[in-house]
Structure 1
Amino acid sequence: MNGIIFDIKRFAVHDGPGIRTTIFLKGCPLKCQWCHNPESIDKSPVCIEKTVQLNGRKFTEKETVGYTTSADELIKELLKEQVFMEESGGGVTFSGGEPLLQHEFLTEMLQKCQASGIHTTVDTTLFANWSVIEKIARLTDLFLVDLKIMNDQQHQHYTGVSNKTILENIQRLTKNGSLITIRIPMIPGVSTTPENVSESIEFLQTLKHPFGRVDLLPFHNTAKEKYKRFHMENHFVEEHSLKKEELATIKKQFENAGFTVQPGG
């Protein structure tokens, strides 16, 4: 089985427990206006022109973002890092994009990781059919689940899709007994509003089974150069990172509601 990925990050420490290797799969059904990986949205490899400046001269070269790999090839790469994973309690994280979009390839990779004794994490929006998620859950040790915006109209405006399927799947996954960390991107003026924070807390309190913790992921504008390279509109180009004081206030609200909170993932 072949899949399309666009990056491999080794020695990652923010994508699950321990030292991890994070695989970024290409393709995403959401189009979040603040996306930090805009190159991940298109499922196919994309060829762009990259400008490099050297000694005062500019050179233009073509760069392909995304490439096809087989599950057999990829597991060989992952096994090279297994000693670091085992000693640190780490493993492999499948991110994106939306890894569930390539669920057949993801399934095979999870099976190979499980057979090799590698801890598996899937970083996902859960915007997929439950039948897909249920199958993936049997092979996944930990889910990192995005909870972006509670208001459905705003969710559609900022991400291009309704959040109804996402919220239903979060409820189903917790009932399923899967280990979950909820991740909330702290987008100034969007997810940081008092209304969204309160509604997020209220929703999480309705879940039947406890989950690991809540990660508050502060917005940063480090992807602005990517938007230029890919000739994509950057809706948050002028937005500044969230102030530490504001993040601390929101963190306290979740903690007061009884949740374990970690800023930054």
Structure 2
Amino acid sequence: MEPVNYAQEGLVFDIQRFSVNDGPGIRTIVFLNGCPLRCQWCANPESQLLRPVVMFNDLECIHCGICKTVCKQGAISPNNKGLIDRTKCIGCGECSIACPAGALVMKGKKMTVEEVIRELKKDGSQYRRSGGGLTISGGEPLVQHEFTLELLKAAHAQGWNTAIETTGFADEEIIKKVLPHVDLSLTDVKSMDSKTHEEFTGVPNEKILKNVKLISEITNIMVRVPVIPGVNEKKEDILKIAEFAKTLNQQNLMGINLLPYHSMGENKYKMLGRDYKLHGLQMMNRDDINVLREQVERTGIPCKVG
């Protein structure tokens, strides 16, 4: 077993316990900052920058002005959209510490592998009983690949199952270094059309599709498809993804997971002073999603929804 660097630091913006939807058994999800994509439906926009960010909840604000007085960057003014000038804010967190109402919240803090493992050990017995363990998410965990690698190694040293939620957008050498320590890769395939992919995520898909194939040669893979109306909700869109999935290593392919669009993250954009580009977009109904599920299953690939 490879030695673990427990002192390796990473930037963590959330830790979610008792998850049952992101890998086998009962799991803890560690969310990391940093993502090279800008998916218009992203439910975790606070994760996109590789630095801490401050979120502002105007419903909690009591307009006392303390945050403005403590901000050394001059980034806070009621005239700013979302209170904070993001071009000036450095994410120091002084305003969130001073806020008496809790209207300003920091997302992202440095943690060592040792600190994260100590947190995970609180649920160690649940992992052993259920076959669960650690899922690393984001953001994109491979942005912080050194921290992700050490955290995966540390989890395996505890005997826990490991999973990663990834866009697959990373250099090949990083994939080859990190993924051997992953028991299950929950990997997005958003669109087989590169222009559509770039329009709605900010990056083309060629690198991603190449890496998805590589991942399937290394470890177990579940292909996840966020189903977004106007992007990839047609039967032919999903069929193309299913046909691509059939080119992967079938021994390691666990199936396709269709994730229906939801707007539950929309309020976060307001808290970051940003516009939500898909405002007003309606969710697909259950019958339409089931049609897509049946389309996948006809190709012989197991498919689940949600």
Please indicate, yes or no, whether the TM-score normalized by the shorter chain is above 0.5: yes
Q: Percent identity?
A: 38
Q: Which residue of 2 aligns with 1:99?
A: 141
CA distance in 1 between counterparts of 2:209 and 2:142 reads: 16
Alignment of 1:7-26 (within 5 A): 7-26=14-33
TM-score (normalizing by structure 2):
0.82
Residue segments in structure 2 that go unaligned for 5+ positions in a row: 1-7, 64-100
Change (3 A) 1:112 1:256: same
**Structure-2 change in CA distance of 1:175 and 1:61 (3 Å):** closer
User: Which whole-Å CA distance do the structure 1 matches of 2:249 and 2:162 have between them?
Assistant: 24
Which whole-Å deviations, capped at 9, do the CAs of 1:71-121 have from their partners, x for residues lacking one?
111111111111011111111100000000000001110111111111100
Cα distance, 1:60 vs structure 2 = 7.0
Residues in 2 aligned to 1:38 and 1:64: alpha-carbon distance in whole angstroms: 13
Decide which of 46, 52, 75 is 1:45's aligned counterpart: 52
Q: 2:80 aligned with 1:73, yes or no?
A: no
Alpha-carbon displacement from aligned partner over 1:104-152 (angstroms, at most 9, x marks no partner): 0011101111111111001101100111111112211110000111100
Q: Name the aligned partner's letter for residue 165 of structure 1.
A: K
Offset at residue 67 of structure 1 (A): 0.7
Q: CA separation in 1, counterparts of 2:159 and 2:123?
A: 13
Equivalent position to 2:230, from 179, 186, 189: 189
Superposed CA deviations along residues 168-214 of structure 1, whole A, max 9, x for unmatched, are 011122233x1011100011121112331121122112224340011
Structure with max Cα Rg: 2
Partner Cα distance (1:149, 1:14) in 2 = 23
TM-score by length of 1: 0.94
| Structure 1 counterpart of 2:174 | 132
Is this contact kept in 2: 1:175–1:209, CA < 8 A? no
- Partner amino acid, structure 2, of 1:245: D
Q: Where in structure 1 do 4 or more consecutive aligned residues deviate above 6 Å?
A: none
Distance 2:210 2:299 in 1: 22
- Distance in 2 of aligned mates of 1:61 and 1:219: 28
What is the aligned residue count? 261
Does 2:241 match 1:200?
yes
Q: Which runs of 5+ in 1 are unaligned?
A: none
Change (3 A) 1:174 1:60: closer
Map of 2:285 onto structure 1: 243
- Report if aligned partners of 1:126, 1:169 keep a CA contact under 8 Å in 2: yes
Matched residue of 2:103: which SS?
Answer: strand
